[in-house]
């Protein structure tokens, strides 16, 4: 028995290509399917329903691993954990909205300060279970930080490549946590090409978004946890900052699994993919009715985490949005910056730029009419705002001079 995680039954049956639906054996190392598409983990949901109840979960510690039956790790000894707490769901009554409730799901409380910890703790745990010792990934920052931490925790060698304008704090964090990191004079898709090209010669396993099956399962816990926190209810709409889209895909998978076992009834949330107008391939594909998104040229935005010009799981993102009766929308950098400032000053809550994009989108879609003032909404803040450059605060007091207390109004 693992010191922290008792053994529980596991229910993975196989993996399935997200596009072609052909099957792949569980308990073997896989990247993409033969069609070059993401693999999805499939479970015996009937057996899960018979083996665990909502009351069972409520009796367990409030962390990511309380949902073990819904997750792929077979043996507790392979769990690689840094303390993945249940993140708070914070009401935001002072934000501009209607009669419906607004909550912020604050993923910045997780290890390494972002929701990337969910996906990477699961992917690294499964890599450990399947014998992987070297891993590599492209990153805009937070995913690399998470892989560095969990890879080091698991005793793996991690090789991480990031665009040259990746926030300095992320690059230093990656290096400080034991990974080898390089800046690349390109975007994240260019970094991904380096990872793909080095697989054969270096022997690393490609941890790029959706190029292994298990980050989705880690991100899926956002959906499980949200439903759990809301008493096995769900909000009307979820605004999610979307780059590679693993979290949106994972949450939609979670909600459908919970519905199939009868833990959720009625309508599932409408999923809204939020992008920046300077990099909005999913919005363009959604608006054009396409199943796949074209490469976005000259991508740029202050929200670096959603600056993903091309996503291998594009069709899964668009499928989740359409099946849920949601939509994809883009906001510009000025809106993102204004939203970040408004939430900070109205709620005392410091969002990251990607999280702030969700509030900017919420306000925009209230005006457009795609969101009703009566609908409840959850905004995902995907990382701590402390990981990003903040506006200067340069007021000072000279104690050698008389203090003008009329300044303090």
Q: For residue 5, what pLDDT is reported?
A: 86
Q: For residue 100, what pLDDT is reported?
A: 75
Residue corresponding to tokens 């929200």: 303
| pLDDT digit string, tens, across residues 181-239 | 999 999 999 999 999 999 999 999 999 999 999 999 999 999 999 999 999 999 999 99
| pLDDT digit string, tens, across residues 304-340 | 899 999 999 999 999 999 999 999 999 999 999 999 9
Q: For residue 2, what pLDDT is reported?
A: 45
**What is the distance between the alpha carbons of residues 217 and 198, in angstroms, rounded to a whole number?**
26
Name residues whose C-beta falls within 8 Å of residue 108's C-beta, 6 or more positions apart in sequence: 87, 114, 352, 355, 381, 382, 383, 384, 385, 386, 387
Low-confidence ranges of the chain (pLDDT < 70): 1-3, 97-99
Q: For residue 195, what pLDDT is reported?
A: 97
Token readout for 399 is: 């104690």
How many CB atoms are located within 10 Å of the residue 206 CB?
A: 17
How many CB atoms are located within 10 Å of the residue 244 CB?
A: 26
User: In this structure, are strands 270-276 and 237-241 parallel, antiparallel, or unpaired?
Assistant: parallel
Q: For residue 98, what pLDDT is reported?
A: 62
Spatial CA neighbour of 121 closest among 81, 154, 72: 81
Check for a shared fold between 89-113+213-387 and 116-206. yes
User: What are the start-end ranges of the H helices in 25-83?
Assistant: 45-51, 54-58
CA angle 369, 224, 356 (to 5 degrees): 45
Name residues whose C-beta falls within 8 Å of residue 89's C-beta, 6 or more positions apart in sequence: 103, 104, 105, 106, 226, 229, 230, 378
Spatial CA neighbour of 161 closest among 123, 135, 130, 124: 135
Secondary structure of residue 367 in the 3-state scheme: helix
* C-alpha separations of 316 from 85, 246, 307, 339 in Å: 27, 9, 18, 28
Q: For residue 4, what pLDDT is reported?
A: 72
**Domain 116-206 top-level CATH class:** alpha beta
**Domain 89-113+213-387 top-level CATH class:** alpha beta
59 class by beta-carbon count within 10 Å (0-12 exposed, 13-18 middle, 19+ buried): exposed
Where in the chain are the domains?
12-78, 89-113+213-387, 116-206
Instruction: Compute the chain's Rg from CA coordinates.
Output: 21
Q: For residue 366, what pLDDT is reported?
A: 95
Token readout for 231 is: 């008493």
């Amino acid at each position: 028995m693992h010191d922290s995680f008792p053994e529980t039954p596991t229910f993975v049956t196989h993996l399935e290509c997200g596009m072609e639906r052909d099957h792949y054996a569980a308990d073997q190392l896989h990247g993409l399917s033969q069609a070059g598409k993401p693999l999805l983990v499939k479970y015996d949901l009937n057996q899960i329903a018979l083996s665990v109840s909502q009351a069972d979960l409520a009796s367990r510690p409030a962390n990511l691993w309380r949902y073990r039956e819904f997750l792929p790790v077979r043996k507790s000894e392979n769990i690689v954990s840094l303390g993945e707490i249940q993140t708070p769901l914070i009401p935001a009554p002072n934000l501009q909205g209607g009669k419906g409730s607004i909550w912020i799901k604050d993923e910045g409380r997780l290890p390494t300060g972002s929701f990337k910890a969910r996906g990477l703790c699961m992917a690294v745990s499964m890599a450990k279970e399947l014998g992987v010792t070297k891993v590599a990934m492209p990153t805009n920052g937070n995913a690399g930080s998470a892989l560095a931490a969990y890879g080091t925790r698991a005793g793996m060698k991690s090789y991480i490549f990031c665009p040259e304008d990746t926030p300095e704090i992320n690059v230093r964090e990656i290096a400080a946590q034991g990974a080898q990191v390089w800046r690349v004079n390109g975007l994240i898709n260019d970094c991904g090409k380096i990872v793909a090209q080095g697989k054969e010669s270096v022997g690393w396993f490609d941890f790029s978004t959706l190029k292994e099956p298990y980050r989705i399962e880690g991100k899926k816990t956002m959906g499980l946890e949200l439903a759990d926190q809301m008493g096995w209810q769900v909000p009307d709409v979820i605004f999610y900052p979307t780059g590679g889209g693993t979290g949106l895909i994972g949450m939609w998978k979670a909600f459908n699994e919970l519905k199939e076992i009868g833990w959720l009834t009625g309508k599932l949330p409408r999923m809204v993919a939020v992008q920046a107008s300077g990099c909005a391939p999913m919005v363009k594909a959604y608006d054009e009715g396409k199943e796949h998104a074209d490469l976005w040229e000259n991508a740029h935005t202050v929200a670096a985490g959603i600056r993903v010009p091309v996503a291998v799981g594009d069709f899964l993102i668009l499928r989740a949005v359409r099946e849920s009766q949601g939509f994809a929308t883009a906001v510009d950098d000025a809106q993102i910056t204004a939203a970040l400032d408004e939430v900070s000053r109205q709620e005392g809550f410091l969002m990251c730029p990607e999280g702030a994009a969700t509030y900017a989108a919420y306000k925009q879609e209230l005006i457009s009419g795609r969101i009703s003032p009566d609908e409840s909404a959850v905004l995902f803040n995907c990382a701590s705002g402390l990981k990003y450059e903040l506006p200067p605060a340069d007021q000072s007091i000279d104690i050698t001079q008389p203090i003008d207390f009329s300044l303090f109004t």
